Amino acid sequence: SARGAHLRDVDGNTYIDYINSWGPQILGHAHPPVIDAVKRAAEKGTSFGTPTELETQIAELICEMVPYIDQIRMVNSGTEACMSAIRLARGFTGREKIVKFAGCYHGHSDAFLIQAGSGAVTFGAPSSPGVTQGTAKDTLLAPYNDLGAVEALLQEHDGQVAAIIVEPVAGNMGCIP
């Protein structure tokens, strides 16, 4: 169970939650205003499959706050956001390859799991079992914070790279900036 900044395991030990669901849990577990807001939202319905009035209002607010944004794609997770961004880059450029950095995590999609490392499972050691060779060949890897390696990849794969994706603060590698 969890409340606020604390987790309790099956043996009753209490821990400070430094992970916070990798970011989204910034207000802590079971934060009363969040619980109340979730209850109010659930009373209006839980899954529609189409845009809702609230999503439209949020999109309009984002466009108002950031004037150069003229379209919004709502997604349910960071994985979906990254997948949509890469698909958009590939569609726009007509190129298939992406560059990512070993040890960085961008969601639970095969292209992003190539040498992603997991702080919880692999102790930050990059690995990629289960990812097909076809996916792997379109995902180019560079060492984190190595501009020369990125430049070399871009030269070697000239005209083939649709996007470069980077985790600005690499959480799976110990929050390396």
Using DSSP, state whether 2 is helix, strand or coil: strand
pLDDT digits (tens, 9 = 90+) for 99-125: 999 888 888 888 877 766 554 454 444
Domain ranges of the chain: 2-43, 96-173
C-alpha span between 144 and 99 (Å, rounded): 11
Q: Return d(Cα 150, Cα 148) in angstroms, integer.
A: 5
Look over the chain and give the mean of its residue pLDDT values, rounded to a whole number. 88
- DSSP output for 73-124: ---SSHHHHHHHHHHHHHHHH---EEEEETT----SSHHHHTT---TTTTTT
pLDDT of 129 strictly over 80: no
